[in-house]
Amino acid sequence: MDTTLSQTVGTTDHGHGPAKGLGRWFFTTNHKDIGTLYLWFSLLMFLTGGCMALMIRAELFQPGLQLVRPEFFNQMTTMHGLIMVFGAVMPAFVGLANWMVPMMVGAPDMALPRMNNWSFWILPFAFSLMLSTLFMEGGGPNFGWTFYAPLSTTYAPPSVTFFIFAVHMMGVSSIMGAINIIATILNLRAPGMTMMKLPLFVWTWLITAFLLIAVMPVLAGVVTMMLMDIHFGTSFFNAAGGGDPVLFQHVFWFFGHPEVYIMILPAFGIVSEIIPTFARKRLFGYASMVYATSSIALLSFLVWAHHMFAVGMPLAGELFFMFATMLIAVPTGVKVFNWVATMYHGSMTFETPMLFALSFVVLFTIGGFSGLMLAIAPADFQYHDTYFVVAHFHYVLVPGAIFSIMAGAYYWLPKWTGHMYNESLGKAHFWLSFVGVNITFFPMHFLGLAGMPRRIPDYALQFADFNAVASTGAFIFGLSQLLFVYNIISCIRGGERATDQVWEGSHGLEWTLPSPVPYHTFSQPPVIK
């Protein structure tokens, strides 16, 4: 199979550089340009969603309503969730995949470059549409990012239709992106790059892409059903017409749980690239990492109802979903053990990417522990829909997914720009973020256990102190991201020259290319040992 490939890949002529002017960005089919677009877009959305988070935390700084009214507060929590999930985390991973996957597998570009352009350029329109709902009569979506019916159908503001279209557009973009990544990985690998030689980032993305194709259509399906209920008189979720609001939750979480893994598997990949580099030691248990990732992906289809323990399932259902959920701890544990074993007897240094990766391992594992506690159905009756859940998923998403993206950005920035970023600024950014994240989210465990429900704009007095602490942390974390933005921009504009290998312990095809990487790479497939 690979021999036929080597003849076809090398034949295209890629002598020219990027086009001039703005047109370069609108019409580009270059994977590096599109990767850059995705990453900038995701950064913009991260800051937007972050401002909403700060608005939420500012309101919750003290009991009482100070800054916003409850209806606007609900729009903020909803939008914050949607923007962070679909606008910040997912596009950032797609951006990293666009940049790195072709370089890692020795391909000249993505397999479907024109579709690549399209799948990016849908996003700005989707999110403009979604953000514009905030200015419509009745306000934007206010039913939480999980948009449970009937709050999101019969009782929704009129703008819900635009929200549905925006979700459709994001879904199309994600599916096209996933198809492109699968095609690149399966069809464009350089000769000799066998599946079990693929870097782990590529492997995790391959599995993520399959998850995307499996569940984004289900999300599209569920919003389509909502659309039909709202405008065409069907009764999928309307009890009066023989529908069932609980059905919504089943379909939503059938999408929603794999979606959670879509946001964490590529993070596993990034961390599995970074830790070996800075431990100067090969990744421990490569094969078991691949198997663990695959089994997490498969299990993710069998655990959705653990989000619905309080909905009133029969005993057998509760038990099945409890056991299946607990089982996920096994492959996840394997991954953590492998990372630790990689560090064990390595020769470690602690540059910014490594700091982010190490804190990923620790804080993600803490999120995993609270996840295990949440899996215990009888105890979940006390945790469900409280701040304990908020603490849990922020621990896996912020110091999990987001930290891994930042680690990846610092790790590959020298390769992309040809300049080293400012290391002390990077470390300052790390430590401020690390401290900020923990001050923000650790007290939320206590708040939840003490009885504070999530998604409330005002709370009883016994929750006041931890809320004030959490809000303080949120502002530390939020403001320290300005350092990140500054560091990226100054790294693009100049700085110490980066070598081709960049890091002393780096291995892999992408590090054999010059820094900064030329506009076209691997026009001739590389030779894999």
Partner 1 sequence: MDALQRKNRRLILQLVLGGLLMFGFGFALVPLYDVFCRITGLNGKITNTGPVAVEEADSSRDIRVQFIGVNNEAMPWEFRPLLNTVSVNPGEMRQMAFFARNPTARRMVAQAIPSVTPSEAAQYLHKVSCFCFDQQALEADERMEMPLLFVIDKKLPPDIHTITLSYTLFDITPVLPVAQIKTADIQRSPL
Partner 2 sequence: MIKRVWLLPWIGSLVSLPAAAAWDVNITPGATAISREVYDLHMTIFWICVAIGVVVFGVMFWSIIHHRKSRGAEARNFHENTAVEILWTLIPFVILIAMAIPATATLIKMYDNTDADIDIQVTGYQWKWRYQYLGQDIDFFSSLTTPNEQIDNEAPKGENYLLEVDHPLVLPVGKKIRFLFTANDVIHSWWVPDLAVKKDAIPGFINESWAIPEESGIYRGQCTELCGRGHGFMPIVVEVKPQAEFEQWLADTREATVAQAASATEEWSLEQLIEHGEQVYNTTCAACHQATGQGIPGAFPALAGSPVALGDIDAHINIVLHGKAGTAMQAFGAQLNAVDLAAVITYERNAWGNDTGDSVSPQRITELQQ
Give me the residues that bind partner 1 (CB under 8 A), please: 4-5, 8-9, 111-112, 138, 154-158, 160, 175, 178-179, 182-183, 186-188, 213-222, 224-225, 230, 233-236, 238-242, 244, 246-247, 250-251, 254-255, 312-317
Closest contact distance (angstroms) between CB of 154 and partner 1 is: 5
Q: Which of 188/491 has CB closer to partner 1?
A: 188
Query: Structure tokens of 345?
Result: 């007897």
Closest contact distance (angstroms) between CB of 179 and partner 1 is: 5
Q: For residues 140 and 133, is the Cβ–Cβ distance under 8 A?
A: yes
Strand partners, 386: 453
Task: Indicate which of partner 1, partner 2, none lies near residue 464 (CB less than 5 to 8 Å, by partner kind).
Answer: partner 2
Rule CB under 8 A: say whether 63 interacts with partner 2: yes
Q: For residues 442 and 448, is the Cβ–Cβ distance under 8 A?
A: no
| Polymer length of the chain | 529
Closest contact distance (angstroms) between CB of 42 and partner 1 is: 23
Check the CA dihedral 253-259-265-267 and report its sign: negative
Q: Which of residues 323-352 bind partner 2 (CB under 8 A)?
A: 323, 326-327, 329-330, 333-334, 336-338, 340-350
Task: Indicate which of partner 2, partner 1, none lies near residue 218 (CB less than 5 to 8 Å, by partner kind).
Answer: partner 1
* Three-state SS at 497: strand
The DSSP symbol for 453 reads: B
Closest contact distance (angstroms) between CB of 233 and partner 1 is: 5
Q: Which residues contact 329 (CB under 8 A, 6 or more apart)?
A: 368, 371, 372, 375
Task: Indicate which of partner 1, partner 2, none lies near residue 254 (CB less than 5 to 8 Å, by partner kind).
Answer: partner 1
Q: Which residue do the tokens 């992309």 mark? A: 416
Q: Which of 114/282 has CB closer to partner 2?
A: 282
Task: Indicate which of partner 1, partner 2, none lies near residue 310 (CB less than 5 to 8 Å, by partner kind).
Answer: partner 2
Q: Which residues contact 36 (CB under 8 A, 6 or more apart)?
A: 95, 99, 416
Q: For residues 436 and 463, is the Cβ–Cβ distance under 8 A?
A: no
* Three-state SS at 419: strand
CA 211/CA 257 separation, integer angstroms: 10
Q: Which of 371/408 has CB closer to partner 2?
A: 371
CA 361/CA 367 separation, integer angstroms: 10
Q: Which of residues 366-395 bind partner 2 (CB under 8 A)?
A: 366, 369, 372-373, 376-379, 381-382, 384-386
- Neighbour count for residue 341 (Cβ, 10 Å): 14
CA 52/CA 464 separation, integer angstroms: 21
Rule CB under 8 A: say whether 10 interacts with partner 2: no
- Residues tagged active-site: 80, 109, 145, 173-174, 257, 259, 261, 272, 306-307, 332, 335, 454
Amino acid found at 148: Y
Q: Which stretch binds partner 2 (CB under 8 A): 215-223, 390-398, 401-409, 451-459?
A: 451-459
Q: Which of 65/485 has CB closer to partner 2?
A: 65
Q: Which stretch binds partner 2 (CB under 8 A): 201-209, 405-413, 460-468, 507-515?
A: 460-468
Task: Indicate which of partner 1, partner 2, none lies near residue 241 (CB less than 5 to 8 Å, by partner kind).
Answer: partner 1
Rule CB under 8 A: say whether 435 interacts with partner 2: no
Task: Indicate which of partner 2, partner 1, none lies near residue 483 (CB less than 5 to 8 Å, by partner kind).
Answer: none
- What φ, ψ does residue 455 adopt, rounded to 5°? 60, 35
Q: Which of 158/518 has CB closer to partner 1?
A: 158
CA 345/CA 354 separation, integer angstroms: 16
Q: Which of residues 146-185 bind partner 2 (CB under 8 A)?
A: 148, 150-151, 154-155, 157
Strand partners, 419: 497
Q: Which of 191/448 has CB closer to partner 2?
A: 448
Closest contact distance (angstroms) between CB of 171 and partner 1 is: 9
Among 1, 196, 315, 489, the residue binding partner 2 under the rule CB under 8 A is 315
CA 145/CA 170 separation, integer angstroms: 14
Secondary structure string (H, E, C) spanning 56-78: HHHHCCCCCCCCCCHHHHHHHHH
Query: Structure tokens of 260?
Result: 């959670």
- What φ, ψ does residue 158 adopt, rounded to 5°? -60, -25
CA 416/CA 412 separation, integer angstroms: 6
Task: Indicate which of partner 2, partner 1, none lies near residue 489 (CB less than 5 to 8 Å, by partner kind).
Answer: none
Q: Which of residues 246-285 bind partner 2 (CB under 8 A)?
A: 246, 279-285
Q: Which stretch binds partner 2 (CB under 8 A): 180-188, 203-211, 241-249, 265-273?
A: 241-249
Strand partners, 497: 419
The DSSP symbol for 386 reads: B
Among 164, 469, 488, 502, the residue binding partner 2 under the rule CB under 8 A is 469
